[in-house]
Chains A and B, each alone.
Chain A
Amino acid sequence: MAESASLDAVTCKGCAGEQPPIDVEAIRADFPVLHQDVRDKPLVYLDNAASTHKPLAVIDAVSAMYLRDYSNIHRGVHTLSQRATAVYENARERVRCHLNARETSEIIFTRGTTEAINLVANSWGRVNLREGDEVILSELEHHSNIVPWQMLRESQGIVLRVIPIDDDGDLILEEYEKLLNPRTKLVSVSHISNALGTVNPIAQILRMAREQGVTTLVDGAQAVAHKPVDVQELQADFYAFSGHKIYGPSGIGVLYGRKEILQDMPPWQGGGDMILSVGFEKTIYNEPPFRFEAGTPNISGAAGLTAALCYICNHGIRRIDEWEQRLLAHAQHRLREIPGLRLVGTAKEQSCAISFVLDGIHAHDVGTVLDMQGVAVRTGHHCAQPAIERFGLAATTRASLAVYNTIEEIDALAAAIRKAQEVLS
């Protein structure tokens, strides 16, 4: 099995130790898609909270899988199946390492964060939540961490409680404390807000829940590419993230679940690979994580996910975070200089998303005029309608950063915004 090309391609060189700051031009050289013109202007890609681009290492890992090693995984006795299985299970080990989970059995592959949360709602939720039980969410949540619980409210009669945010976009922890009560069974919150960029004090939020014996789920979709995550240190019960937001492929994501909890959870989808034996009278389910992975998974996606995690790891998540914080500070400074621009979300600690509105100009017009200048941003409610409506808005423009963005690109964004004001006012 050592001859697996895609496995060789994605071998982690180990986490970066002390290293000089990020060389952004070297990073950019790894991302072919960035080097193009859009509408005759150099592409400035600032829609990274929606999805990130992929470095060559990821593209090559996916490609190597299809060029040489692809087959269905598990159970195959032939060589290709064994290679593909090795790549797939190696990905599980890479994720375990990245999140510092204790065991690979705690790492479940899903289609993404959305499916991971739905898995918890449908498996853990259906067994553990009864009528009148309470689930605490926050006002910052992405729709993917709201709707699955509303669906459970319809079927199980659970009650949803919402931690409010203040005018800066920070969660009001005093209100959260009041919401916790003996009926609370789950706290499910995002690590970082996709709409406002708020970095939630997640360790404190989880600690407060734990002290009341409440199970916890963290939506880490916006965190894993930007911040170190250690599920043991956090003592999270569940932690979810998506491959495509961390420079990996779309269609693969992860649910980390603490072993003791996963052991007692029933499967949520039935099919191949999630069973030990099947008979028409009796079927015996497989152990975690396989119990939760019915059907043929995203095999090449796992190869790409490994490469993406190694990419982050090799460059060092702390160095990435430092660079992004520099970009963020520059962006906040440049945007604040623009008359008629209001930042939406000014939390104590922010990560890579910056939302703003321009006086008298609709976000969609801003988005189009920016696109015409090669600047890709997102406009609308960012699938976090309650958070945006909290500010009395229907839509914002959101610029979101990744490690490959530059100071010059931030300046280009600011210039494009001024141009939009000139054209549209």
Chain B
Amino acid sequence: MDLKSLYQEIILDHNRHPRNYGALEGPSHEAHGHNPLCGDQLHLTLVVDDEGVIQDLRFEGKGCAISTASASMMTEHVKGRPAKDVEALLHEFHEVATGKLDPEEAQLLGKLKIFAGVAEFPTRVKCATLCWHTLKSAVDKGATATTE
């Protein structure tokens, strides 16, 4: 595996220029994520409308390129989707990121499939999945997600 297959241009781009970065004022849902392994912190704020659709969301925090890009790409991916889809998305993302599901067979992930590259680095899987656990926790009205 060469360097570029994990650190693909799209991941580096989202790391350099994270989308939907910051905090929403008056969020309907929010959650805090923490990866004790590296001390990475992530805060998510969401506005979910009466129909249960994620109208807007933002993230902020400090993390590595994988965790920042994953959070940035996640926000783009779920904006406008029903909050109830988050569980299935998290599940599929986790399966791909841990190498249990061939990215070609993933139905829901679109360009997020590129995170299949982290499967070769077991200690880095949590970097990619932290934002998803945090999102799940937010839509479940939880407060804190950890990767432990």
Interface residues of A (CB under 8 A from B): 39, 361-365, 368-369, 371-372, 379-381, 385, 394-395, 419, 423-424
Contact = CB atoms under 8 A, between A and B. Distances in A.
B21 interface: no
A397 to B, nearest CB: 12
Given A380-B37, A394-B62, A395-B39, A364 B3 contact: no
Interface string B84-96: 0000000000000
24 contacts: A39-B1, A362-B64, A362-B65, A363-B38, A364-B64, A364-B124, A365-B7, A365-B64, A365-B65, A369-B3, A371-B121, A372-B3, A379-B38, A381-B39, A385-B39, A394-B62, A395-B38, A395-B39, A419-B3, A423-B3, A423-B7, A423-B12, A424-B7, A424-B12
Contacts of A365: 7, 64-66
A369 B66 contact: no
A163 to B, nearest CB: 24
Given A369-B3, A380-B38, A395-B39, A424 B65 contact: yes
B42 to A, nearest CB: 13
A419 to B, nearest CB: 7
A16 to B, nearest CB: 39
Contacts of B4: 423
Interface of B: 1-4, 6-7, 12, 15, 37-40, 62-66, 121, 124, 127
A368 B38 contact: no
A177 B73 CA distance: 53
A150 to B, nearest CB: 17
Nearest to A385: B39
Contacts of A364: 38, 64, 66, 124, 127
Nearest to B39: A394
A369 B64 CA distance: 12
Nearest to A360: B16
A395 B4 CA distance: 24
Contacts of B6: 368, 372
A368 B117 CA distance: 12
Given A362-B64, A423-B7, A368 B37 contact: no
Nearest to A379: B38
Contacts of B7: 365, 369, 423-424
Given A364-B38, A395-B39, A424-B12, A372 B1 contact: yes
Given A365-B64, A368-B121, A423-B7, 11 more contacts: A364-B66, A365-B7, A372-B2, A372-B3, A394-B40, A394-B62, A395-B39, A423-B4, A424-B7, A424-B12, A424-B65
A59 B75 CA distance: 52
B124 A368 contact: yes
B52 to A, nearest CB: 35
Nearest to A380: B38
Contacts of A419: 3
